[in-house]
């Protein structure tokens, strides 16, 4: 997205930019994850530098400008930064004060509520399910589209893909965008795809301006009223409201001084000790080990591999299959010796001998989340020979730990401007780039197909499904993919019709096994580049020493920081359901200071202050929940799910009341006739009573009770009675926790 400058020294003067940039820097796809505290001018590095290197702020800024700022400008976080700045510009303007009769105190409080990444999350959560949600999504997509140059062949496919996506969602008849911009919309439809580029851009730009003004002039005041009323009920927000009332009474309130003009006081916190080589892969593995230790769930073994000997050539088109245990996900072809191989030599920069030797480990990810990525570019496969197997299966013993947290990193990759994909393209790994694109496209498909309540989900899921089939699963391309035959056929069968299939997860796991060693190379390359900048040398060997080893508490807080960045980024990216605004969110709003680390530091301080050392649901538990959701998503979306054991449940189970003796239920006789199909069960009283008793005995009757309540509502004719039934349904079935 278009930001004010490409010079980081100037950008760091803006506290809103600092907050968004900190969230971006702490996405777990990266090796080095620093954070900047603007009030003190201090950078904190993770992992820390070896003590023999002098941390230079100038060198760090140069590295950030070259290797972090460009992907940030391509990320959804940057789009939200631009939107946030436009909303803040309107709030501070005289036009808003005159149009909405705002006082300076009102503007100050609204700035507090909407500034930074957490403020934009609050706004997006507030407008969820309203017309403003569609308007905001349209503005963000259009902003991304207008940055692209359609005349550039490298960007044309992405430009047209985004344009087709706009037409399938926001520009169709009946949408909020077309209703608001009907006059302008008619010109766009006449322009089509054959009119001059400037005409189409001008029309989209006008529509974007109209949408933005509606958000600013109508939805921002509603959001302000909502925030003020919600903060009145929250005790932690009372100091903020007291200052707001004082500002209302005092017209000439003096604002505190802003950022210091001299940014050369910026410094990097020095290392506090020595222990082990500088290696971001090892740092991530240590964090993940802590996550595995602290979660409370049944340990399950990952698949054990027995791989055939490498470099064993076979006949053209043959595949060497990995022998997996009962949890096998399909055959993964090996790479024979072939001159067309694109797999680079495995880097030893992070010390493979220090890898995990135990195959035990959970599925990666602290939360089961659904991801959405930008539409991809055209794939180039013309230089690949059909007989070549271009992917080598990584060693399971050396890559077990990396494989365990790789999906966690890939989910962050889609929110971070796709730096891992950029690395693969730079290494000319065409097939691996294609696999990564497939992984992300499958992630994009999941939230659309699993949540039919979203606007235009029907059109979008067919659009994405057909695109996946045409791009990856046609015979000319699928023959190169190192995926099991059963996996490819199942994907072809379901995605063409926009249907969900559990093989999506099998395909993603197979892809992760292939990309594992390449992600390790990506981390090693990131480490080398960072050390080169920080040591001001052209070639730097891997150092023998690094900063002090983190303790368990520090690892835990670091994990919370990285995972908090990922969760917030996904929510803004649209690949994670926005949670309702809870008391904890208002506490964060009341305590966060953008100059002191913003959302990330406020969340950690709240965690330490309340003593809550509670990890997110385990990856395996969320995988189980996800499988349940995929099998019965229509009912799971509205009914309270079955409880999955977590670290907090044992405490709740201690509070038990004296059981009340209930009369034994009268058994229902099994009907003599067998129903032809399930609908007959629901509409036959005898079958329905027997089926209900069957579900009640197994504690799975809530979905059926919900269906019966809706049927009763449909049959009711009295308006008053309908209102009571509707209130009862909402109270009983829509206040439960919805699965992530």
DSSP assignment of 380-410, as one string?
A: --TT--TT-----PPPHHHHHHHHHHHHHHH
User: What is the count of structural domains for the chain?
Assistant: 2
Question: 183 and 291: one domain?
Answer: no
pLDDT higher than threshold 60 for residue 497: yes
Instruction: With respect to residue 327, please indicate whether it lies within any of the assigned structural domains.
Output: no
Give the residue among 195, 134, 198 at the shortest CA–CA distance from 166.
134
Confidence grade of residue 550 (pLDDT, cut at 50, 70, 90): low
* Sheet order of strands, 267-268 included: 35-37, 42-44, 267-268
Residues 125 and 224 in one domain: yes
Q: Are residues 363 and 244 in the same domain?
A: no
Task: Give the domain-ending residue among 637, 665, 690.
Answer: 637
Residues 224 and 291 in one domain: no
In a domain, 264, yes or no: no
Question: What is the residue whose two structure tokens read 């009769």?
Answer: 101
Among the candidates 574, 609, 637, a domain finishes at: 637
Per the CB < 8 A criterion, the answer to whether 546 and 427 are in contact is no
Could you give the CA distance from residue 148 to residue 165 in angstroms, rounded to a whole number?
Answer: 15
CA atoms within 13 A on the CB side of 337: 5
- Find the mean pLDDT for residues 321-332: 31
670 and 320 in contact (C-beta within 8 Å)? no
User: What mean pLDDT comes out for the span 532-544?
Assistant: 60
Domain region containing 186: 76-251
Residues 187 and 291 in one domain: no
Least confident piece of the model among 113-122, 176-185, 244-253 = 244-253
d(CA 240, CA 237): 5
Sequence-separated (6 or more) residues with CB below 8 Å from residue 693: 665, 667, 668
584 and 481 share one domain: yes
- H helix or E strand, kind and range, residue 620: helix 619-631
Task: Provide the pLDDT confidence category of residue 692 given band limits of 50, 70 and 90.
Answer: confident
Q: Is residue 628 part of a domain?
A: yes
Do 142 and 85 sit in the same domain of this protein?
A: yes
pTM for the structure as a whole: 0.68
Q: The tokens of 505 are what?
A: 């997860």
| Residue 37: its H or E element | strand 35-37
Rg (CA), the chain: 27
Residue 347 included in any domain: no
CB 30 within 8 A of CB 561: no
pLDDT band, residue 453 (cuts 50/70/90)? low
Lowest mean pLDDT of 150-164, 204-218, 275-289, name the range: 275-289
Q: Which of 360-364, 514-518, 596-600, 648-652 has the highest mean pLDDT?
A: 514-518
Of 583, 603, 637, the domain-final residue = 637
Length of the chain counted residue by residue: 740
479 within 8 A of 386, measured Cβ to Cβ: yes
342, part of any domain: no
Whether 362 and 236 map to the same domain: the answer is: no
Same domain assignment for residues 158 and 239: yes
pLDDT at 691 over 60: yes
Taking 90 as the threshold, does the pLDDT of residue 510 lie above it? Answer: yes
Predicted pLDDT at 459: 80
Give the confidence band of 100 by pLDDT, cuts at 50, 70, 90.
confident
pLDDT band at 575 (very low <50, low <70, confident <90, very high): confident
Q: Residue 334 pLDDT more than 60?
A: no
| DSSP-derived secondary structure letter, 309 | P
Residue 265 lies in a domain: no
How far apart CA 721 and CA 716 sit, in angstroms, is 7
Asked if the model's pLDDT at residue 352 lies above 60, the reply is no
Q: Ranked by mean pLDDT, which of 201-205, 209-213, 341-345, 703-707 comes out on top?
A: 209-213
Q: What pLDDT does residue 317 have? A: 34
In a domain, residue 208? The reply is yes
If one compares 460 and 546, the residue with the highest pLDDT of the two is 460
Is residue 50 in a domain?
A: no
Rounded CA-CA distance 446/407 in Å is: 15
Residues 216 and 291 in one domain: no
How confident is the model at residue 225, as a pLDDT? 93
Cβ–Cβ under 8 Å, residues 37 and 597: yes
- Other C-beta atoms lying within 10 Å of the C-beta of residue 665: 9
Confidence band, pLDDT 50/70/90 cuts, at residue 666: low
Confidence of residue 515 (pLDDT cuts 50, 70, 90): very high
- Indicate if 597 and 453 belong to the same structural domain: yes
Phi-psi region of 444 (alpha: psi -120 to 50; beta: other; left: phi over 0): alpha
Residues 211 and 291 placed together within one structural domain of the fold = no
Q: CA angle, 279 as apex, 278 and 281 as ends, to 5°?
A: 165
């Amino acid at each position: 997205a278009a930001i004010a400058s490409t010079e980081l020294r100037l950008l760091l003067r803006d506290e809103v930019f600092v907050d968004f940039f900190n969230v971006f820097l702490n996405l777990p796809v990266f090796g080095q994850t620093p954070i900047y505290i603007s009030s003190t001018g201090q950078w904190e590095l993770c992992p820390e530098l070896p003590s023999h290197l002098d941390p230079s702020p100038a060198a760090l800024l140069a590295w950030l400008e070259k290797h972090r700022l460009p992907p940030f400008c391509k990320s959804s976080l940057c789009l939200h930064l631009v939107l946030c700045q436009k909303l803040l510009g309107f709030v501070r303007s005289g036009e808003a004060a005159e149009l909405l009769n705002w006082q300076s105190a009102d503007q100050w409080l609204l700035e507090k509520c909407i500034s930074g990444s957490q403020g934009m999350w609050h706004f997006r959560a507030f407008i969820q399910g309203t017309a403003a949600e569609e308007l905001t999504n349209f503005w963000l997509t259009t902003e991304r589209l207008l940055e692209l140059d359609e005349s550039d062949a490298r960007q044309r496919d992405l430009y047209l893909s985004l344009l087709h996506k706009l037409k399938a969602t926001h520009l169709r008849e009946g949408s909020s965008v077309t209703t608001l911009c009907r006059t302008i919309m008619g010109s766009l439809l006449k322009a089509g795809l054959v009119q001059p580029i400037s005409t189409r851009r001008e029309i989209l730009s006008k529509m974007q301006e109209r949408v933005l003004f509606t958000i600013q002039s109508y939805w921002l005041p509603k959001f302000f009223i909502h925030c003020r009323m919600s903060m009145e009920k929250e005790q932690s927000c009372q100091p903020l409201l007291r200052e707001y009332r004082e500002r209302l009474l005092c017209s000439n309130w003096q604002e505190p001084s802003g950022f210091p003009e001299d940014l050369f006081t910026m410094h990097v916190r020095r290392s506090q000790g020595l222990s082990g080589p500088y290696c971001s892969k090892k740092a991530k593995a240590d964090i993940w080990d802590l996550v595995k230790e602290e979660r409370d769930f049944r340990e399950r073994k990952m698949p054990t591999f027995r791989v055939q000997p490498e470099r064993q050539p076979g006949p053209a088109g043959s595949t060497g299959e990995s022998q997996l245990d009962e949890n096998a996900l399909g055959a993964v072809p090996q790479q024979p010796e072939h001159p067309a191989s694109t797999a680079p030599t495995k880097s030893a920069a992070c010390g493979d001998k220090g890898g995990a030797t135990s195959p035990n480990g959970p599925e990666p990810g602290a939360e089961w989340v659904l991801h959405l990525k930008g539409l991809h570019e055209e794939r180039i496969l013309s230089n690949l020979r059909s007989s070549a197997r271009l992917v080598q299966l990584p060693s399971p013993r050396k890559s077990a730990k990396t494989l365990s947290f790789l999906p966690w990193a890939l989910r962050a990759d889609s929110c971070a401007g796709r730096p891992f994909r950029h690395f693969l393209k730079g290494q000319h790994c065409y097939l691996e780039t294609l696999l990564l694109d497939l992984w992300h496209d499958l992630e994009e498909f999941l939230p659309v197909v699993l949540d039919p309540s979203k606007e235009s989900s029907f059109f979008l899921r067919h659009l994405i499904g057909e695109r996946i089939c045409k791009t990856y699963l046609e015979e000319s391309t699928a023959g190169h993919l190192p995926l099991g035959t059963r996996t490819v056929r199942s994907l072809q069968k379901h995605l063409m019709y926009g249907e969900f299939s559990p093989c999506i997860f099998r395909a993603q796991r197979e892809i992760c096994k292939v990309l594992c060693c390449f992600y390790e190379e990506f981390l090693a390359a990131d480490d080398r580049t960072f050390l080169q900048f920080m040591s001001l040398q052209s070639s730097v060997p891997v150092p023998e020493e690094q900063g002090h080893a983190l303790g368990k508490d520090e690892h835990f807080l670091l994990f919370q920081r990285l995972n908090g960045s990922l969760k917030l980024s996904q929510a803004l990216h649209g690949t994670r359901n926005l949670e309702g605004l809870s008391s904890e969110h208002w506490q964060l709003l009341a305590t966060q200071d953008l100059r002191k680390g913003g959302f990330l530091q406020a969340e950690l301080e709240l965690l330490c202050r309340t003593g809550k050392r509670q990890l997110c649901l385990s990856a395996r538990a969320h995988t189980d929940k996800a499988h349940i959701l995929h099998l019965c998503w229509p009912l799971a979306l509205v009914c309270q799910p079955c409880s999955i054991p977590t670290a907090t449940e044992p405490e709740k189970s201690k509070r038990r009341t004296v059981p009340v003796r209930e009369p034994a239920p009268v058994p229902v006789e099994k009907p003599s006739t067998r129903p032809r199909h399930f609908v007959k069960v629901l509409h036959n009283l005898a079958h329905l009573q027997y089926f209900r008793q069957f579900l009640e005995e197994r504690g799975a009757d809530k979905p059926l009770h919900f269906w019966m309540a809706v049927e009763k509502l449909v049959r009711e004719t009295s308006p008053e009675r309908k209102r009571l039934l509707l209130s009862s349904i909402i109270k009983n079935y829509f206040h439960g926790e919805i699965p992530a």
